[in-house]
Chains A and B, each alone.
Chain A
Amino acid sequence: MKISLSWLKEHLEFDFSAEDLAGKLEALGFEVASIEKKGPQFKGVVSAQILQIEKHPNADRLSVCQVTDGSENFTIVCGAKNIAVGQKVPLAKVGADLPGGMRISRSKIRGVESSGMICSGKELGLGAENGGILVLDQELSLGKDMASALGERTEVLDVTVTPNRPDCLSHLGLARELSLSLGIALKDFKVPVLNVSDLVPFKISVESSDDCPVYVGRVFENLVVGPSPSWLIDRLASVGIKSINNVVDVANYILMDLGQPLHVFDADALEGREIFVRRARPGEFLTALDDKKYELNPEILVIADKKSPQAIAGVMGGLSSAVLSKTKRVFLESASFNAALIRRATQRLRLKSESSYRFERGTDPRLPEIASLKAADLILSLAGSAAKVSAAATEKDVKENSSIAVSASQINQILGAGFKTEEIGKVLSALVRPGGLFEVKGDSFFVTPPSYRLDIKERADLAEEVARVLGYEKIPVHRPRIAAVAAHKTARAALVEFLSERLKEAGFFEAYNYDFISLADFELSGAEVKEGALLTNPLSEDLTILRPTLLTGLLRNAQYNFNRGNSSFRLFEKGTGFYEGKENILLAGLATGKFPEIYWKQGRAVENDFYGVLGVLTESLSSFHADYLAVDPWNFAGHENRALFHPAKTIGIKVQNVPVGMLGALHPQMAPRWDILDEKKEVFIFELNLSLLEKISPAPFFLKPLSEFPSSWRDISIVVAEEIPYSEIREAIRSSNLAELKEAGLLDLFAGDKIQKGSKSLTLRLTFGRDDRTMTDKEVEASIAKILESLKKIGAVLRA
């Protein structure tokens, strides 16, 4: 809300700067977004006329002018070219202050004394340099103070008023607030004595006092509606309101001055002499001042004549009853409406105004009568000498604020402070002025907040007032003594952190993506989602879907990075997947390129491949003893995003028979659709459902004893049909059931020229050992024989 310093001074006497004022407001809880200077920023400049021009004796480019301000003549040295005898010009006299801190003093210029300066528009801060002095209107009288002729000089503060303080949405309101904290009394609030005519006011019919607790109406006749005087135009302009005409401007002036929204109707456009404050009827319409037609309904309060709605109560008037220059008769409304009702109307109609902004936050129910008086007084003074006004017709049913009992110790208890009883009493008694009640009974204060303080309802509110006025800095800093309860993370947070840590160790960078994705990306993911979630009011039409998978985001990140020349990276993200009517905690990853990206030493760069990423996952999930199954990977956790995964390079991950994730290469036909156009670029992706994993307890860990006896190893090379997967070979070895076999590692794998077609060769390193003694060579040989026997069952033979 814009507050003009000079306007504020009509309510409060103070002499500190705009910056100091901003500081005081901030200490009270009102942030000041900006301070802007408005109007002429100079002093001591008057209108003058050039009587005579002579060339400067010692300088070709300068002139020596004789200038008069009507009462005195001055010799001025001037460098401008556009000067002429008879011109009226702004003269900065000795002692004048110009914008930018320049002060005019008597000075000798090349030997000629100059007692002032003829100013250009730029020198006065009134616009850009246009090559010479500012030439004034010939009609202007001499010796006039230019600053006041050009409008009011003020500074305007843009103050942020929080929603709990609608009473501060006016100059009076903020003056009241400052008066409370600074201990400066408000200037006497003059309620005008109105010269009321015998005009008969309109009858006011309020359907429900819940909807409209106060309604004050007045009728004016014989008005001359026309332009406002410049002081009013300037005042409104300084707080960002455009002048319309003298009557409408008065309504806006009172709004910004007192905080009471008013509305003026062209009374001749109203049918009959009765105003109805009622709910709209189904099917009623109103074309409002914004020239838009609104469909009304019974949830919306309207101001109607006997025929139809003429205004949306508290929000906006109707176009047909607008006050225009032809208007002669005016009906002035000053009222108080139910805040929630006005708010609902603004939402239903998607229509807001300065009035609705205040009504939906709450207005002072005692203000409409005063505001109506002040507005009427101002209208009469501006709208012609024949103007007449009626007495007020008033309907009201106002509930009084109830009193709050509080003791000084209760306030100190909330704040943890040691404020003295008198200090607290002083704040609370000032708080209720004007309009409220303050009593002391024994140890207790009884505080009845004034009608405009809608925010004060209980002790905590009074504690805040005391703290605000006395200063938050006066409350001590105290470290609480805490119970010795160990802090802990949730199981979910601990799991997420554990796995994130593992991935980070394996070179994954953590990514953060938005939770909403486009329909296009959603469809590209191929996810079939049951019971997903949508945004009803997305930021843009294409970001509608709450993501069921994190992979779409990571693929977009991959594309983003490829486009910026980053070609090798591992990314992961933790986040929420929305499907099956619930929020599923997911962990997804993407890996591509090689590490290090470039390196001088041959053979040190490692490609990101399927086995590398599988290794990371296996390592990360080792305590869960997960199974990695090439078969049937698709039934993963209720969302089947199979379309993203390579049909032959994808594996399912199960823990205790529960499918918890998938890992694979990006489907080759999908890559181009994600704008990954390099065919050689392999991208690996995985996703784990941690909501499932967190329900599975990892196996408890105990140390395996270390054998005291050396183990022995032998390498064996076997040949087996090419289609036999390694898992079968591993299983065949396992089925030989040898306790002595400690490890079987795959050392080499090849197919080709040296091997029979359709076969492959595997070299395995078998490690044997016993915990009770060293094995003999014979025993080792016997074990190998047993293993070879098992391998025979799948057609594997020792390579010749």
Chain B
Amino acid sequence: MNSSDWEKELEKVAREIASENFSAALNAEDLESLRIRFLGRKAPLTELLKSIKDLSVEERRLLAPKAQQIKSRLESEIESRSVEIERLRFEADIKTHSLDLSLPPLFPLRGRFHPLTRMQNQMAHILGLMGFSWAEGPLIEDDEHNFTALNIPEHHSARDMQDTFYVTTHVTPTKVGVQNSELLDSGFRRNDEPEQLPFYIEGMRVLRTHTSPVQIRAMEEVMKKQKSPSSLRIICPGRVFRHEAVDATHSAVFHQVEGLYVDQNVTFADLKGTLEEFLKALFGPKIKVRFRPSYFPFTEPSAEVDLSCLFCSGTGMGPDGQPCGICKKTGFIEILGAGMVHPNVFKAVGYDPEIWSGFAFGIGVERIAMLKWQIKDIRNFYENDVRFLSQFEDAEMPLFA
């Protein structure tokens, strides 16, 4: 073949290539057959390039770049089509393998703390940040710790404030029938006596009626360990017991968080400051705190602490213009009891009340939890219905912030 024929042949190939619609190749196979047609061993272009050696050096110098240019343009055209085909294939593939994103998710198996634990932990956490350490004591208490050392003497009517469960310890309950009738015979209580008058049985141990005995135990421990008084900042979250009929607002078992702060020169103003700080951390900075006189045998002066109502923001009126049902129109709700440690309590543990002073407070965990989560019946806490327990989320945004 002479150079002009060769060149004509090249132009023919070029035209053929130019007239080809590469976009018509819809998949890799189509593209491959195009590639073989234009670039395969038997393809005219391949043939032409092979026969270029028959031309003169000058002719080659002139024509070879032309041929190479056609070839590389073709290659890049095939390559870009190949990329495009792969993209289309991927897109089609994605479509066929998609998920129904609206199907229900699979939740991880995760438990919940009891709402009372959650509430107790919140309180303990805040008080912990304020430097209060944990302390603990037994559920079965002796008369001394539960009453006498807390300035609730025997045969004092202050004992009526707390209906008490009495406990017989060190018995073998398999013989419970016998044991109980023995007790009854000895005159403690007869089956045919329906009324539950508060009564006192000498030497008998009690289920603690409050967490306050832990105050006594904590100070006793200081005296035992150090032989002399020192300052204290403790809390005791725990279970307490009252001998009262169970209904929607009363439970014979409930929980308190007790606090005790003892140092020199502690004042009622410090009590107000500490509790206000605590309650603001628990319920949000907007709340108002009110202190009212009250009576607890183990504190003097004593106070009942009220919080501006969380539901009507202290206005006494609900959003519907009706009197607020939670605070009964008063704008305040009773939240805890507190006071300055009574000098007799200090004397009972060997702290000199002329030197040492302090304050104590006790919060009902159930009450706060019921207020915060609008739980209407205290018995819900002790039924352990999983439909109830499962509602208390751990990652709860602060409600009253």
Please list the residues of chain A having a beta carbon within 8 angstroms of any beta carbon in chain B. Answer: 26-29, 162-165, 339-341, 343-344, 346-347, 350, 352, 360-361, 413-417, 458-461, 463-464, 467-468, 472-473, 475-480, 482-483, 485-490, 492-493, 500, 503-515, 519, 522-523, 528-539, 541, 544-546, 548, 557, 560-561, 564, 566, 569-572, 576, 578, 581, 583, 595-596, 599-601, 604
- Complex CA–CA separation, A163 to B385 (angstroms): 40
Shortest distance in angstroms between A578's beta carbon and chain B's nearest beta carbon? 8
- Bound: A561/B390 CA distance, A: 13
A474 to chain B, nearest CB (A): 10
Contact between chains at A163 and B173 (CB < 8 Å): no
**A536→B166 contact, CB < 8 A:** yes
- The 3 tightest CB contacts between A and B, nearest first, are A416-B267, A416-B269, A29-B293
Say whether A511 contacts B293, CB under 8 Å.
no
Q: Are B133 and A529 in contact (CB under 8 A)?
A: no
Residues of A within 8 A of B171 (CB): 531-534
B389/A509 in contact, CB under 8 A = yes
- Determine whether B222 belongs to the interface, using a CB cutoff of 8 Å to chain A: no
B110 / chain A contacts, CB cutoff of 8 Å: 504-505, 507
Are A500 and B270 interface neighbours, CB within 8 A?
no
Whether B117 and A500, one on each chain, are in contact in the complex, defined by CB atoms closer than 8 angstroms, is yes
Nearest opposing residue in chain B for A571, CB measure = B384
Interface bits B113-137 vs A (CB < 8 Å: 1, else 0): 1101100000000011111111110
Are A490 and B195 CB-contacts (below 8 A) given A464-B301, A472-B292, A534-B171?
Answer: no
Chain B nearest CB, measured from A791 CB (Å)? 36
**In the complex, what residues of A have CB within 8 A of residue B270's CB?**
416, 478-480
Interface size on B, residues (CB 8 A): 107
Q: Tell me the smallest distance from the CB of A763 to a CB of chain B, in Å.
A: 27
B interface residue numbers (CB < 8 A to A): 103-104, 106-107, 109-114, 116-117, 127-136, 138-140, 154-158, 160-161, 165-174, 176-177, 179-180, 183, 188-189, 191, 193, 195-201, 204, 207, 231, 233, 239, 241, 243, 245-246, 252-253, 261, 263, 265-270, 272-274, 276-277, 290-295, 297, 300-304, 340, 342-343, 357, 381-387, 389-390
User: Using Cβ atoms and an 8 Å threshold, which residues of chain B touch A473?
Assistant: 290-291
Q: With CB as the reference atom, state the residue of chain A lying closest to B117.
A: A510
Is the beta-carbon distance between B116 and A508 smaller than 8 angstroms? no
Q: Are B103 and A600 in contact (CB under 8 A)?
A: yes
Contact present for B191 and A29 (CB under 8 Å): no
Nearest residue (CB) in A for B382 is: A512
Residues of B near A569 (CB, < 8 A) are: 386
| B253 pairs with A530, CB closer than 8 A | no
Give bound CA distance, A165 to B158, whole Å: 11
**Would A576 and B139 be within 8 Å (CB), given that A415-B269, A531-B170 are in contact?**
yes
The 28 sampled A-B contact pairs (Cβ below 8 Å) are: A163-B161, A163-B297, A352-B197, A415-B301, A460-B342, A463-B340, A464-B300, A467-B268, A472-B293, A477-B273, A479-B270, A482-B130, A489-B134, A490-B134, A493-B136, A500-B117, A505-B110, A506-B111, A507-B109, A514-B252, A533-B171, A537-B165, A545-B173, A548-B173, A560-B383, A571-B386, A578-B140, A583-B140
B180 and A28 contact, CB distance less than 8 A: no
Q: A475-B269, A519-B177, A569-B386 are in contact. List 9 more A-B contacts (CB 8 A).
A: A343-B157, A473-B290, A475-B268, A477-B269, A488-B133, A536-B165, A560-B383, A571-B384, A581-B170
Residues of B within 8 A of A500 (CB): 113, 117
User: Are B292 and A504 closer than 8 Å at their CB atoms?
Assistant: no
A479 and B273 contact, CB distance less than 8 A: yes
Minimum distance in angstroms from A626 CB to a CB of chain B: 21
One of B195, B246, B291, B382 near A350 (C-beta < 8 A): B195
What are the residues of chain B within 8 A of A165 when measuring CB–CB?
295
Residues of A within 8 A of B385 (CB): 560-561, 564, 566
Could you tell me the distance between the alpha carbons of A479 and B276 in the complex, rounded to whole angstroms?
A: 9
Q: How far is the CB of A192 from chain B (nearest CB, A)?
A: 32
Cβ distance B278 to chain A, nearest Cβ, rounded Å: 11
Q: Are A515 and B253 in contact (CB under 8 A)?
A: yes
A533 and B293 contact, CB distance less than 8 A: no
- Quick one: which of B188, B252, B261, B272 contacts A536, CB cutoff 8 A? B188
Which of chain B's residues have a CB closer than 8 A to the CB of A506?
Answer: 109, 111
**Contacts A414-B267, A534-B171, A544-B180; A488 near B134 (Cβ below 8 A):** yes
Query: Which B residues are in CB contact (< 8 Å) with A413?
Result: 265, 267
Query: Given that A339-B157, A460-B340 are known contacts, is A583 also in contact with B139, CB under 8 Å in the complex?
Result: yes
Q: Decide: A29 and B111 in contact? CB cutoff 8 A.
A: no
Determine how close the nearest CB of chain B comes to the CB of A131; give it in whole angstroms: 33
Residues of chain A within 8 A of B140, CB atoms compared: 533, 546, 578, 583
Among B179, B270, B387, B390: residue with most chain A CB under 10 A: B270
Do the beta carbons of B179 and A534 come within 8 Å of each other? yes
Specify which chain A residues have a CB less than 8 angstroms from the CB of B136 in the assembled complex. Answer: 490, 492-493
Which residue of B158, B172, B243, B246 is within 8 Å of A531 (Cβ)? B172
A489 CB contact (under 8 Å) in B133, B200, B301, B390: B133
Chain A residue numbers with a CB within 8 Å of B266 are 480
**Closest beta carbon of chain B to A517's beta carbon, Å:** 10
Q: A472's closest neighbor in chain B, by CB?
A: B291
Q: Are A480 and B133 in contact (CB under 8 A)?
A: no
